[in-house]
Amino acid sequence: MLDFADARRRMVHNQIRTADVTHRPLLSVLEELPREAFLPEPAKPFAYSDQHLETGRIEATGELRYSLAPVLLARMVQAVEPVPGCKVLHIACGTGYGSAVFANLGAQVVAVDEDPKIIASARAALAAAGVTTVTALAAPLAEGAKSQAPFDVIFIEGAYQQEPASLTTQLAEGGRLIGVNGLGRAGQVMLQVKSAGVITGRSVFDASAPLLAAFAKAPAFAF
């Protein structure tokens, strides 16, 4: 039988620390929080391999949802500098692992995904893990959670091609939005910050992630 606790420690020490993740509270959370508890049975044996893992399917569209590879997730979380008490909007939350990471860092989290069944799975996994500071909502990704804005952090768990302008409007002053802009080798983790009412962005590092259909480039019109 796979020793998940040992695999989790190895992931943190051999993969995440070596990827220049130095945020001590984050490392502690990753070493304690069971990623396998947020995965469907077929994916559990691969919980601590550094790969994106399928967590569900959007029933209305057939789009797959993924839990980002642990190293990418950790580097993105570190880049937005979460602090206890901060308010986080988690877009494409899937079954809730990333939301649980933020919650265990002391954040208040609003987690959004499009499929009610996926959200139900997230709520169940979060409850089983003892996480009580996440509100999971079924809603279109591009809408975010306007009624609960503004947010200190907006975390997009996936790749986008179209600028998520509808989400940047939900940032608090000083707020940070992060996601993977572009596909494949052209992908870059972009960090956008709101300062004096103005949004500025910069590339943090190269990365690839599954595309979120809600932020896909519209097909070109052919005459």
144-168: pLDDT as tens digits? 999 999 999 999 999 999 999 999 9
- CA distances (Å), origin 125, targets 30, 55, 128, 144: 16, 12, 5, 21
Q: What is the pLDDT of residue 217?
A: 87
Enumerate domains of the chain plus CATH numbers. Answer: 51-215 (3.40.50.150)
pLDDT tens by residue, 25-43: 999 999 999 999 999 999 9
Measured distance CA(179)–CA(33) in Å, rounded: 22
